Structure 1
Amino acid sequence: MKTTSVRSRLLLPVFLVTLGLLTCFGALLFWKFRNARPASAIRQLRINEICTVNPGTAIDEATTYEDYIELYNPTDEAISLGELWLSDNPRHCDLAPLPDKTIEPHGFLCIYAVGSEGGSPEGQPSVPLSVSEGETITLAWKHQSESGITTSLLVDSVTLPSSIRPGAVYARTGDGGPEFDQLRPTPGSSNQDASSVPEAPVIETASGFYENEVAVTITAKKGMTIRYTLDGSDPTSDSPEYTVPLTLTDPSKNPDQYASRTDITEEDSGYLPPETPVDKAVVLRAAAFDSQGGVSNTVTATYFLDFSEKEGYEDAVTLSLVTDPENLFSSEKGIYVRGALYDNAIDAGLIYNGLPWSFLTDYTNYYLEGRSSERAAHVQLFDASHNLALSQDCGIRIRGNESRHFPQKSFTLFSRKKYGKSTFDPVLFDTDISYPNLILSCSRTLKKAFFFDLVADRDTATQRYLPCQVFLNGEYWGMYYLMEKYSAEYLAGHYDVEQDNTLLIKDTRYVEDGDYEALQNYRDLRDFLSQADFSDPENYAELLTKMDMQSFIDWMCTNIYIANTDTKPLGGNVLTWQTVTPENDTEGDGRFRWILYDLDDSLGVGTDLATTPAYAFDSFTGHAVYAALGFLDDEPMPALMKNEDFRRQFVLTFLDLANENFRWDRVKALLDQTAEQKPWADKSWDRWNAAPETATFDEELQDLHTFFEHRAEYIIPMLADHFGLEGTLADVTLTSVPADQGSVVLNTITPDLDNADWTGQYYTDYPITLKAEPAEDSEFVRWEITGGEIANGAIEDSEIQVRLDGDTRIIAVFEKK
């Protein structure tokens, strides 16, 4: 038998067996692959609408501001989401598993993208993703077999544009279809009902101050219809159509639309609107309309005409605040008026005329709070030379407590991404800080802002501010203070700390900014303050690791000196802050610090000023009728007063403030500067005081003048009495030192010695601390002391302590290198 024949007969069965095995294996692979494929309906599921900045959408009777990803089921089958995932990273499509939900045939489901720390609206599905412009959002199916084999498939993918217009979502123009556009939100319903958000028109003529009249040109994309308003309202399809340049003239003689209202405070308040029309600017608002019913966002401009002929605006910063009148003055949603809440409560007998404001907080629109009380607006700020410095959309809310019922109300301004920008442009206060929020505080009292100027250099935070003349929807609304708002951004900007590492607490229990869990840090401090015996040096040393004692003492001494009756260091109307994780050895060291806040009730408000003038009020232990205790009797002062180091630091700091920050000639100079606001303030007073409610600007200046001229002679002996000082009050004179030689630090102050000697008064009970700081090309040589003696250090040491035996003169001797 031939060898070739035998091999052929042997290979045939091997071939047949191999073919059978391969066939079986192929069948197994086929069935495995088939079983690992998603159902046809799942492969047709589509990402239908993506909201990156929710402007506020309705869920039942609530409003949510969480972003979302809407899915659409175009099939006739219900689809389970059990093996589906969403992601904002195309390389990792399985970042967020979808909840165990079902989308009905031709149905919609919103998945809320709440980020790593957010919370979805109650009862709504969510994923821990954040969706942003420019990202790619994927929907993927992933299956794991019983044997552990994982199979995945990309179901849908949508790349968001780099810029989405405020108020718009990125959505399919036809549900499940291939085309996308920027549409109005329709979460949970068909996109067929959504209108587009076309590009806004451009007002080519700049906002600003003009003489006589101004011709205004508006442009838009071809095919768009431009409509405009002149009363602050958002343009609608019924608004006038723009066809040719508008010629605008001064409307000041026209009847008031908003300044004439009387429903902006209680019926029996006695408030009377202005007797003659207020000054007015022209507010122009425009929007573009397309043929399909799409409406652009509104653009706004403000024109001040012939204002060189009007009094009260020379060199004044001017602010125009514009919002649809319904947002402020409608009975149902207007946040500036009593509104339907009040009317309904009167009809129901829940309230009646004559009740104090504190009984009406639940029954007036202007006491509404939170996101539901925020209204869209546009703010424009013109500097003292009338150049446009800021122009952007924002949100506004009424702010304050008692002041909400004042006719001239204060606002908080919010810059949010949904309005176009997350922060206001950094053009304010010369800080280079981009603020997310600003305060527009009514100028009812001058002192609320003035005190910040006096202690801006101290270790307690203060707010910078700009007096400005405000126009609301084009009508003069009075002088306001545009102010910094304390926030994480404020702390990061002023103290060079990490914004995400700060904790800001209001009234000892509300977290204004930061992680709520970190509030426990403050609770631990309070517990330690209430439980420890600070006569024990070890306990006091431990306390100094938890709180910045100089910041606390600066806060206390300032409030006591100005006789603030509406704050407590561990109570109401106080802000405290810390860096949660220590960053450095200065303000970022993790210790708690204090912030000056709400100084309206200074100068002894709430006390019997008829018998005891404000400057003679003992604010160490005295208090207003609505308070139970004075500063020294309230926590934590009784515990701290047991420690001698604390008492010494407090006494010397108080005298430092009295001798330098509150020194009469310094205060008088600042009051003289503040008097330059008189033309603006007088105009504002005339606007709001047809039936006089508040002191005039001159009267307020005089009150401050009188208070500070006499305060030291009363409050300094009170300091000695309450701290048991037995020494005498001695003059300390520092001899003049040219600035090019050096400077001298006295305790916590650095007096100006460049041109003249400096004199302050200190009790002889405690030695004072002196530190010589030579200029760059100089060196410190020695101290020359007359009337006192060195208690610690040597005559050639740059830092010493001096015991006062009586009036003392001290000379710091420097020499050029």
Structure 2
Amino acid sequence: MRKKICALLIFAVLLSALTGLNVFAQSNKALRPVFSHQGGFYTQPFELYLSVQEPNTRIFYTLDGSVPVPGSEGTFEYSGGILIRNRTDEPNDLSMIRNVSNDMFQGWIEPKGQLFKGTVIRAIAVNQQGIASDVVTRSYFVDPNGIQRYKLPVISIVTDRDNLFDNQIGIYVNGNYEMRGKEWERPVHVEFFEADNTLAFSQNAGIRIHGGYTRKYAQKSFRLYAREEYDEKKWFEHEIFPGLKAKGTGESIEKFKRLVLRMSGNDSQYTMFRDGLMQDLVSHFNVDTQAFRASVLFLNGEFWGIYNVRERYDDRYFQIHYDLDRDKVALLSIAGTTAESIEVDEGTEEDAQDYRNIINYIRQNNIKDSSTYEYVNTKLDLDSYIDYLITHIYFANTDWPANNQTLWKYKTDNREYNPNAPKGQDGRWRWAIRDTDFGFGLAYGGQVNHDTLSYASTEGRGFGAPPAWSVFLFKTLLENDDFRNKFINRFADHINTAFVPERVNEMIDKKSGDIAHIIDEHNRRWNKIEDWNKEVNILRDFANRRPSFVINHIVNRFRNNGVSQSASINLSTDIEKGYIRINSIDINEKTPGVKDPANWNGVYFGGVPVTIKAIPNEGYQFERWEGVNEDIKYNDTITINPQNNLSIKAVFKKTSSGGRMMGDINGDNVINSSDYVLLQRYILNISDLKLEDKYAITDLYEDGEINSIDCAILQRYVLNIITSLPHK
């Protein structure tokens, strides 16, 4: 490193003396070398040619990831074609550096065999005046299968090896990986190739080591920063996560200020996608989640394994997702043995104290009182909190609640609750999901039968029990009937949709299928996963069995609150005419996990009232329920206590152009004998029908006439001989 710095300084001084110019300040983009081939994957070796438009200009290049410095070791002057080939037969390089870990279980292990390697070229041009161009960086990979070798995005990080592996300044080695902050950020070049070999972006950026304890592991996570000081491109601009929508605005997200390349955390010796699976399962919940995409990473052309591309929680995340002023974001992380263990990730200590004040208010006031509960709901987004709780409880995440608690809020101008503000901007604390690796049956985490509900809501004793502070909020809120019932019903809603085993298994199959073809290559690099297929099957077993355990945990935990056995509710309707909403979920094709909205089944709990609403499609109107008591059958919204299995049908009717349904002649939204009498009197010429479009309402046979046939049909309908209108 010292030799290279000296050579760089000598190069600058010589050129300055010759030309009177500052070589770096005078860097000219027009001088950039032109490469004959784009970076990416190729099936055959080829000769790479470099050129420059300005005559009498020299080109210098490197092959080791360093910035070219004329006269420095490892910098070559270009004189002809450069052979680009598969370099796998060359000795492993970066992967043989040993002082990368101090963990006894996931320390350095020599790769099994030769790793796949590409070629990285970094080049500059220097003209006769001594003006040097910007550095141009390209990564090339040659394999008979070309891009088909990896059916995933490929990320190539190129940098001077000292930035990562020098004992003094390298961020990957020698305990330096424990260091944090801007002073431990290093410059790199990043190329992102899509699975079809399209170059999504290529730019300079900053890199840091990312993570908590996993910094000690040999395979480490990285954090990438798009900064103006590195590149004129201030963002990573690409649809990195296809289909990703902003949590607050619903807009597509196609630019990022920071990215995390995660090595799957505590799951890195098991499935390599556990946390991504869990967060994707609940990405539509009322909590924040980090988008996930599997990828393959190369460092200076050397295969570095499978990495999970993730969003990072910071002020930029909330700026993008909620279209807000990032300077007004407060973001807290809570972990430790005491309630004072709050780390301010964004904001000030005043924000941490604000949250403590809310907790103290709850300690000093009776949460059963409606006024107390309503006040707390102006400080905490309790709907977000409920989804957050359900997520960790279903996942059986035992690295929580004493760890990995993350919450944020937008600081309104008056620091008060603004109920009319856009989503996420009302001034209340909301919750975010992070680091769920211990969940979903991880070997040393919560197993499929783990009673995480009791674990997170009662003050346990002994080894492994969460500290009192970490269960206080949930335990106390459960004393309020409204919160408890909402929590139970919302949990049931998710069990019946998002957590349906069929849906969860489909997602497991998709994510495991994405990396199955390279898991062996990854394992040869890191030697960590003993039986990958077995680990994936543990996920499937959890998906299949977890709902029944959670249902039993709910009954057992709340038996003293009047919760009895679970009951099945069957909801059916003609989906062409309308759909049904139960509690917080719409039974239609838009809701994840709903396969058959025309005939749907869900599990709910006796002693916990369930609200069901019929919602007509355009051109239709709710008429009645079938399978409920007579006194509520004509109400579009009903509340029932599911003590036994129920089968309920919503019946919708066609409306006239004025919005009135067929057969509702008197316009009272109910079809009964009064309507029959009016139609009969019209047919007998006793009175007229004062309707804007009488045929749309009274032509029940749809033959273009209003006569005794329509009257007979209406009579049969009122007597429940037929159940739908119109009728042929």
**Higher mean C-alpha deviation, range 316-325 or range 508-517:** 508-517
> Where do residues 125-140 of structure 1 align in structure 2 (5 Å cutoff)?
none
Q: Which residue of 2 aligns with 1:461?
A: 288
Describe the SS at the equivalent of 2:586. Answer: coil
Q: Which residue of 1 aligns with 2:700?
A: none
- The AA in structure 1 aligned to 2:403 is G
Pair 1:247-2:247 in alignment: no
Q: Which residue of 2 aligns with 1:489?
A: 316
Distance 2:622 2:530 in 1: 52
Distance 1:312 1:631 in 2: 51
Select which of 427, 445, 460 maps to 2:239. Answer: 427
State the structure with bigger RCO (CA 8 A, min sep 6), 1 or 2: 2
Select which of 160, 174, 183 maps to 1:324. Answer: 160
Give the number of aligned pairs: 592
Distance 2:348 2:132 in 1: 40
Q: Is contact 1:621–1:631 with CA below 8 Å preserved after alignment?
A: no
Describe the SS at the equivalent of 1:676. Answer: helix
Select which of 741, 761, 775 maps to 2:617. Answer: 775
Q: Which residue of 2 aligns with 1:197?
A: 27
Describe the SS at the equivalent of 2:167. Answer: coil
Structural RMSD (CA): 2.9
- Report the CA distance shift for 1:180/1:458 in structure 2 as closer, same or farther (over 3 A): farther
Q: Which residue of 2 aligns with 1:415?
A: 226
Pair 1:715-2:547 in alignment: no
Q: Which residue of 1 aligns with 2:666?
A: none
Distance 1:554 1:251 in 2: 50
Deviation digits for residues 441-470 of structure 1 (CA, Å, limit 9, x no counterpart): 014142111001211111011111111111
- Report the CA distance shift for 1:770/1:400 in structure 2 as closer, same or farther (over 3 A): same
Q: Which residue of 2 aligns with 1:634?
A: 471
Q: Which residue of 1 aligns with 2:197?
A: 386
- The AA in structure 2 aligned to 1:701 is V
Pair 1:679-2:516 in alignment: yes
Distance 2:256 2:635 in 1: 45
* Distance apart, 1:615 and its partner CA: 0.9
Q: Which residue of 1 aligns with 2:41?
A: 209
- The AA in structure 1 aligned to 2:258 is N
* Distance apart, 1:727 and its partner CA: 1.8
Describe the SS at the equivalent of 1:418. Answer: coil
Q: Is contact 1:560–1:631 with CA below 8 Å preserved after alignment?
A: no
Q: Which residue of 2 aligns with 1:442?
A: 263
Distance 1:553 1:215 in 2: 60
- The AA in structure 2 aligned to 1:197 is S
Higher helix share: 2
Select which of 802, 807, 814 maps to 2:640. Answer: 802
Q: Is contact 2:41–2:146 with CA below 8 Å preserved after alignment?
A: no
Deviation digits for residues 268-304 of structure 1 (CA, Å, limit 9, x no counterpart): 6564221311111111111233557654442211112
Select which of 219, 225, 234 maps to 2:67. Answer: 234
Distance 1:789 1:520 in 2: 54
* Distance apart, 1:716 and its partner CA: 1.6
Distance 2:608 2:104 in 1: 56
* Distance apart, 1:318 and its partner CA: 1.2
Q: Is contact 1:685–1:696 with CA below 8 Å preserved after alignment?
A: no
TM-score, normalised relative to structure 1:
0.68
* Distance apart, 1:479 and its partner CA: 0.8
Q: Is contact 1:463–1:484 with CA below 8 Å preserved after alignment?
A: yes
Describe the SS at the equivalent of 1:806. Answer: coil
Q: Which residue of 1 aligns with 2:354?
A: 521
Distance 1:273 1:424 in 2: 34
Distance 1:802 1:588 in 2: 35
- Report the CA distance shift for 1:745/1:248 in structure 2 as closer, same or farther (over 3 A): same
* Distance apart, 1:560 and its partner CA: 1.0
**Higher mean C-alpha deviation, range 321-330 or range 238-247:** 238-247
Distance 1:246 1:741 in 2: 67
- Report the CA distance shift for 1:749/1:478 in structure 2 as closer, same or farther (over 3 A): same
Describe the SS at the equivalent of 2:392. Answer: helix
> Where do residues 468-617 of structure 1 align in structure 2 (5 Å cutoff)?
468-507=295-334, 509-514=342-347, 517-568=350-401, 572-581=403-412, 582=418, 584=421, 586-603=423-440, 614-617=447-450
Q: Which residue of 1 aligns with 2:93?
A: 257
Distance 2:472 2:597 in 1: 43
Which structure has the larger Rg over C-alpha atoms?
1
Question: Equivalent pairs: percent with the same residue?
Answer: 30
Select which of 513, 525, 539 maps to 1:704. Answer: 539
TM-score, normalised relative to structure 2:
0.75
Deviation digits for residues 176-224 of structure 1 (CA, Å, limit 9, x no counterpart): xxx997765xxxxxxxxxx643436233321122221233333344454
- The AA in structure 1 aligned to 2:136 is V
Q: Which residue of 2 aligns with 1:657?
A: 494
**What stretches of structure 1 of length at least 5 have no aligned partner?**
1-172, 185-194, 339-363
Q: Which residue of 2 aligns with 1:757?
A: 599
Q: Which residue of 2 aligns with 1:620?
A: 453
* Distance apart, 1:580 and its partner CA: 1.1
**What stretches of structure 2 of length at least 5 have no aligned partner?**
1-14, 243-251, 335-340, 413-417, 588-593, 656-728
Distance 1:374 1:530 in 2: 43
* Distance apart, 1:700 and its partner CA: 2.2
- The AA in structure 1 aligned to 2:200 is A
> Where do residues 93-108 of structure 1 align in structure 2 (5 Å cutoff)?
none
Q: Is contact 1:449–1:465 with CA below 8 Å preserved after alignment?
A: yes
Q: Is contact 1:783–1:813 with CA below 8 Å preserved after alignment?
A: yes
- Report the CA distance shift for 1:504/1:773 in structure 2 as closer, same or farther (over 3 A): farther
Higher strand share: 1
Q: Is contact 1:737–1:753 with CA below 8 Å preserved after alignment?
A: no
Describe the SS at the equivalent of 2:623. Answer: strand
- Report the CA distance shift for 1:197/1:531 in structure 2 as closer, same or farther (over 3 A): farther
- Report the CA distance shift for 1:232/1:737 in structure 2 as closer, same or farther (over 3 A): farther
Distance 1:401 1:482 in 2: 17
Distance 1:506 1:231 in 2: 39
**Higher mean C-alpha deviation, range 695-704 or range 631-640:** 631-640
Q: Is contact 2:99–2:108 with CA below 8 Å preserved after alignment?
A: no
- The AA in structure 1 aligned to 2:529 is T
- Report the CA distance shift for 1:419/1:741 in structure 2 as closer, same or farther (over 3 A): farther
Q: Is contact 1:261–1:273 with CA below 8 Å preserved after alignment?
A: no
